[in-house]
Structure 1
């Protein structure tokens, strides 16, 4: 029996008679003065612009995004709490570079250390967090590399928690965007830390080095980095009209340049692209025939919203093709994959996503099963 095909159109707020295909005009991306950069849709993970995005480079304090992700993972598990009291070790106190100015032997709430790490880029706060979570910085680094692998960060290896220059410590713009996206989507309850403009500890008030927090009201994160080897780096995120983008620039020449180049990337992305929801979680897109079941059909759809990044000027109707299994037999469980949907054309496939059963279907009685088997036999003859 041939595969069951259903041809659909994804309608975005218009009726079929109102649809009119219009040409899409998008200029080339802006020239970005950085060794490596990427622009990603935070909801879909689609890449809008990239250049040398998989090149292994020293990430400087962008490393702290990986440290923050691991910490937020442990917070979500309940293994640690923002109210935990952390005793500051000699190692943490002695850290050079950017500092929160912690005192050795003092006891500091974990929440304060996270603010020191994210807002002030404090190396001392970062080491204190690592030691609290895993017992030592080296043990915490093992967690960082394990999480990086699970997130699909293929061009990263971490040797410390801070980004302090050390051999065999590298990442890429693409990988930094991946962990930034995970922070935003997986732990939104903690994302407010990344937009704080100032943080004061020990009587010392320090500004967030992300200049875009002052220049662009849509920007609400994430993290800067700088060493001589890495140059000036910035992972930024902004939300405009329901679309959230992530930009990462690595290896710019000045503090001002990393802000300007990031702004150019974000403005380009928001000007010409947007996130669109094609289907909603639980939306029924077809009723598929079921053989040998207590019911003759099953509702088919998606377990999550189906989102895609598209040019703003694209036509409002997008062709979609639903491919169901040739034969769907009971019993069927909720969430069982019954086929896939392909959105786009043969020459321009936008996305491919599994479709699942939205309801269970039990096996039918003996005579119902036998009848359906006979019916299928004769159908396959023709």
Structure 2
């Protein structure tokens, strides 16, 4: 049995990434890892499984469970509208950038937090379903206790840094099993490869989806204080396994370790013997470690919890060099029996190792309002943060003034003027109105009649029936048409 075998010393591994940590700073902090058979609850592999850890955005799994539980109880519905408050809109990224007052269905909100991991939307779920974020945090804690998550403390629904909020690998495995067991009709929510909002397509942050055969959920998370975390589920030959990996220095290393743990777990017996999640002993550690100085070195670019498949080949190779050094240092501290699950991590081949390319995305449409036809939606040019905008009113076209010279004298038949329903009067009537001969009056009036895009628009613009010079065209003022302003007040995005 490999339970609680100390495979890795996190700070020792980070020496390969930063290269500047003193040996004294490399404290014995073990990265939590856990592999569990979903049906039996049997622990297939574990280390530091009950140690407290900052959850980051895997918190949103608890947010989703509480929301789905409220729907099951009839206290909420998937099509009810949630309103984005100023407080929700002010949450830092990752976010959708919705303006205060924007409304979105709970169904779309859950899809967004599972794929985009939007902090503003998760905050709105908490406010709307719990009456306040504190009220929703109370529901999270009550639910955790009922499920047997004895190591968890929740204060917010999105996982942004809070020294009072932590969980454990064991508790997240319990939560993952509860989601799959209690809401089988909502399992697809945790395996969406991408969402489409307006013109923006946003892939799931889970780098295992579409890259490791059988992976069908669940959620990733990253903050500097907790490193890169993931709760993932995979199915092979009808057997489902949940893997939890926490505290990794990069998304790539997190994904590779999770894949190795899946390989190891599927190779183990699915029997009912052995240790279960309920059997795991309490941790002697009183509070989670703060990894900020090691994960987010100010001299290096800020790490991101993005799909590692988007990395270029050169970046992948460069990261591989660092990860290989990290793996060697970690494996050196592990006993031989524990190294089975990570045999490939202690290898020079790691620098060229990567998961397969991601399968084509299958985006799921999300929108604001109750129905996609209710609002016009726009996205940023980079597609990173999509923004909703109010439906634009139809603008009247700028008034065009004819400047052609007078035509030879011909009887002018009646002809329509665009969009107005008016007609050019006949020659005799024009002669009485203008005091000119019939033919000249017809040509003069036709050259001075504006073409208008919308009925009811008035203009006094007139020009002589002669060739227009470029200098005159620049000097001629253009009529202004005021567009109706959207009702929603603009809010600066973070």
In structure 2, distance between residues paired with 1:29 and 1:50? 7
Q: Distance in 2 between matches of 1:205 and 1:230?
A: 28
**Equivalent in 53, 71, 75 of residue 71 of structure 2:** 75
TM-score using structure 1 length? 0.63
Aligned to 1:245: 241
Please state which structure has a larger fraction of its residues in strand. Answer: 1
Closer/same/farther in 2, CA of residues 244 and 29 from structure 1, 3 Å limit: farther
SS in 1 for 2:216: strand
**Which residue number corresponds to residue 48 of structure 1?**
44
Runs of 5+ consecutive residues of structure 2 not aligned to the other structure: 11-29, 275-494
Q: Secondary structure at the match of 1:215?
A: coil
Equivalent residue for 1:91? 87
**Rg larger for:** 2
Match of 1:151 in 2: 147
Q: Aligned partners of 1:261, 1:29: CA distance in 2, in Å?
A: 15
Shift of 1:205: 2.0
Length, aligned pairs only: 255
Distance across 2 between alignment mates of 1:142 and 1:208: 28
- Is 2:242 the partner of 1:264? no
Which has more helix, going by share of residues?
2
Match of 2:108 among 112, 117, 132: 112
Secondary structure of the residue aligned to 2:209 is helix
Distance 1:75 1:189 in 2: 12
How far has the Cα of 1:167 moved from its partner?
2.1
- Contact preservation (8 Å) 2:6, 2:47: no
**C-alpha displacement of 1:197:** 0.8
Task: State how far apart, in whole Å, the 2-side matches of 1:230 and 1:165 are.
Answer: 9
Inter-partner Cα distance in structure 2 for 1:64 and 1:186: 17
After TM superposition, list the pairs within 5 Å mapping 1:1-382 onto structure 2.
31=7, 35-274=31-270, 308=272
Question: Which one is further off, 50-59 or 94-103?
Answer: 94-103
- Say if 1:151 and 1:159 are closer, same or farther in 2 by CA, change over 3 A: same
Q: Take 1:252 and 1:191, find their aligned partners in 2: how far apart are those partners?
A: 26
1:166: how far off? Answer: 1.0
Do 1:101 and 1:201's aligned partners in 2 also have CA atoms closer than 8 Å? no
TM-score by length of 2: 0.49
The answer to whether the 8 Å contact 2:190/2:217 transfers is: yes
Structure 2: distance between partners of 1:77 and 1:236: 27
SS of 2:222's partner is strand
Larger CA deviation: 224-233 vs 201-210: 201-210
CA shift, 1:30, in A, is 11
- Residue 131 of structure 1: how far off its partner (Å): 1.4
Task: Tell me: CA distance 1:29–1:237, structure 2 relative to 1, closer, same or farther (3 Å).
Answer: farther
Report the counterpart of residue 316 of structure 1 in structure 2.
none
Given that 2:44 and 2:268 are in contact with CA atoms closer than 8 Å, whether structure 1 keeps it comes out as no
Q: 1:203 to 1:101 in 2, by over 3 A?
A: farther
